[in-house]
Every structure is written in structure tokens, then in C-alpha cells.
Amino acid sequence: MLTASRVTASREFQVMAKPAGAVCNLDCSYCYYLDKSALYPSGEALRMTDDLLERYIAEHIEASPKELILFQWHGGEPTILGLDYFRRIVELQRKHRPAGRQILNGIQTNGTLIDDDWCRFLAAEHFQVGISIDGPRALHDCYRVTKGGRPTHKQVMQSWRLLKRYRVPSDVLCVVHRENVRQPTAVYRFFKELGVECLQFLPLVVRQGGSGVSAETVPVEAYGEFLCTIFDEWVRNDIGRIAIQNFDEALRPLLGVEHALCLFKETCGNVVVVEHNGDFYSCDHFVDQEHRVGNILETPLAEILEDPAQRDFGRIKRDGIPRYCRECEVLSSCNGGCPKDRFARTPDGESGLNYLCPGLKKFFIHSRPPLQRIASLMRSGVPVERLMDSLRSEDGEAAARAGRNDPCPCGSGLKYKKCCLDPRKSQLD
């Protein structure tokens, strides 16, 4: 094995490591990564070799500027490599970890291969697990199917229960698509019943042609309604119980804190991808020859992160937003969103608008008043949970004044008689 370069990166970074490349045991119809295997010669083993794995781990540790060193294992499906492969990962991390520094591993999985042995390992090695679930059975199984087209929800639920039984720290990634976006309450309450404590909603946007999108892509306005509906329930009932990354990010500008997610940051480029053969790419959504920034066998990781092309990639996000965005009242909330989704046009015809803009803008404007109250409570050192009591009290007062055909005070957008006045809904709350 070649000696790892002893160079530290000048900024914090994340690497989405894909030691199995695009290999996956599922055939989710909306997956954007399965076809990335076409970048490599047919018949090539899509598996990071032991020597290359060790080189990557050693250089990642050297390049990390903070005491806590984070590894993120993605795919395809990383668990397809088998448990022994991940035992080797931990062994190599221990070999190269400097005294006094801590290593934390995260793994994103479809959950179908998780069993008791996996859970014992994940618990013992303190892995943080992200598991992909798109909601109740019918909504999840729309697109998340096996190579033979069979549903996967039952397997994933078994894996979720195992992770909970073994007390493995786990969060849920829910892809929001054209089917589940129309049932926000059912989706959110499903996750509440599962006991999910950390949740992220990822909007599905698959571009087709110049400005078209796939059939599975989430409708823009519906996505805004989806977030608003869930936010209204969360802010009244679940603050402090369920952490929803979308809402945490919306709160950050109001606290004067930089966004954590790259898609909402002013600039990006510090979340790179390493493929099974050591190739590095600018971003998980830009794995193509144009955005290949090097190979770890040729260039040290820290130098790849400092590559001028990678720096330019990050700055283009900030410099390329249209005037419509620069003048937007919620610019700080999204900073134009992910560059991969900037293929729409502004009302005055300028290119570069985020496809999701109308939905995101609706959500950011809708959520801002309660989030401003949360920010104020946090700055005052007052428990933010008090906001829930306050909002419910305000709802009660508004309900006392509301007529049957008035908009429901809870903010759902439904008529009062079809929402909180409906005894069937009360039984669900």
C-alpha cells in the first residue's frame, strides 16, 4: 500500500463513500444512482479493494481538521458488501486513528439486508444508521421494489424494529414523490407511530429533457403543502420529540446560524463522493466525467478538496442564482437550493430558478412566524416546548370564534368542519 499523504484540509468536509459503487439489491424506479455503473468498464468488480479502502481511510483521517472524524458510507446499497467488509473498515480505522481523536460512522441503507448480526455490530461500533422509508406500505411500495419488482416494505419494517430493539441510533430518510406527497398527515403519523425521532423529507426531482421532469417527480405546489401540513402538526405537538431536518434548516437563518445541509448553504462543494475505484466527484448529484476531480491513487484527498475546479463548483451555486432569487424575502432560507434542480425559469423569463421554488417559498413563508417565536424562546433560554401550549391555546380561542365553513384555525387549509371539528380527526390526534 502507498503511504497516505499527511495533509490536512483547510475546511470541514464530508465524503459520501461508495465502496460498492452503484450496486444495489433493489430497483427503485426513481433512483438516480443505479446507472452510474455505466461510467466504468463492463464486468469490472464494483467493490473497493482492501488496499484502496485502507488508503482512503488513512487519508480521510489525516485530512479531517476537527477532533471528531466522520465517515459516511453510501451506495448503491453499502450493506451488500457484507458484514465482514464493515468489520474490516472498523479495524482499519482503529489502526490509523491518532490517539485522542474520535471516529464516528454513519451508514445509509435501504434496510432490506439488516439482521440481528448487523444490529449487534452497528450497536457495538456506535454506527448511526439512516434508513430509507417512504411512508405506509402502499406509498413505500410504489417505487421501492426488488429487482424482480416485489415490494420491500415488510422487510424494511422488520429491520427498523431490529434497529430499535438493539438501540442503534437511527433516523429515517423519506423520499417525497408524486404519490406520498398527497397524504402528508398519513405519512407523518405513520412515522410518529413507528417512534421515529429524527426524520428528513427529501423531495424527488428527476429532470427529463430541458425543463421536464419524470412521472415520479414531486409536484411543486403539492410539496409546499406537504411541508406546511406536517409543520403545523409538528409545531403544535412534537417539538422536542421529533427532529425534522427540513424544519431545523428553516430555523437556522433566524438564529443567525449557517445551514448544515449543503443544498441550503450559500456555497457548496464540501460534500464530495468517492467511488469504488478511488475516483472523486464534486457531488452525489454530479457523478459524471465533467465533475470528476481526481483519484485518490493519484492525488491526496486534501488536495482534491482544495482543487480549483471544486472550489469553483461551490462558488457557482452562489454566483449563478437569478435576480428573482436575490430579491426574494426568503433567500437566506434556501440560497437558491441545489444546483441540480435549477432548470426552471423565473416569472420574467430568466433561467436558473429552482424547480421547487414555489413549494419551498410557500413553506418558508408559512413557517417563519412560529419559527421566529422558537428562535426568540431559544435566545431567552426558555424551553421551546412552551410554544406548543401557546399555539394550541390560540387555536382553541380561534376555534371558539370559527364557523363550520371557516378555514380551520390549525392552519391545515381545510374548512373547520372538515378538520378539527370533525370527531374522526379528534380520535386520531
Confirm if 113 and 25 have CB atoms less than 8 A apart. yes
Q: Pick the catalytic residue from 27, 284, 307, 422.
A: 284
Residue 278: CB partners within 8 Å, gap ≥ 6? 48, 52, 55, 56, 295, 296, 297
Show the cell assigned to 197. Answer: 425521532
Burial class (CB in 10 A: 0-12, 13-18, 19+), 323: exposed
3-state SS of 25-60?
A: CECCCCCCCHHHHHHCCCCCCCCCCHHHHHHHHHHH
Distances (CA, A) of 339 to 51, 203, 285, 291, 297: 35, 14, 9, 13, 29
Whole-number Å distance between alpha carbons of 429 and 393:
16
Query: Phi-psi bin for 149: left (phi > 0), alpha (psi -120 to 50), beta?
Result: left
Stated as kind and residue range, the H or E segment containing 155 is helix 153-165
User: What phi-psi label fits residue 345: left (phi over 0), alpha (psi between -120 and 50 degrees) or beta?
Assistant: beta
Give the integer Cα–Cα distance in Å for 280 and 274. Answer: 5
The CA distances from residue 102 to 68, 96, 233, in Å, are 5, 11, 38
Q: Is residue 284 annotated as a catalytic residue, yes or no?
A: yes
DSSP H or E segment with residue 353? strand 351-353
The DSSP letter of residue 383 is -
Q: Identity (one letter) of the amino acid at 413? A: G
Residue 135, amino acid? G
Burial letters 18-47, b for 16+ CB under 10 A, else e: bbbbbbbebebbbbbbbebbebbeeeeebb
The residue with cell 423519506 is 174
The CA distance from 354 to 357, in Å, is 5
By annotation, the residues acting in catalysis are 284
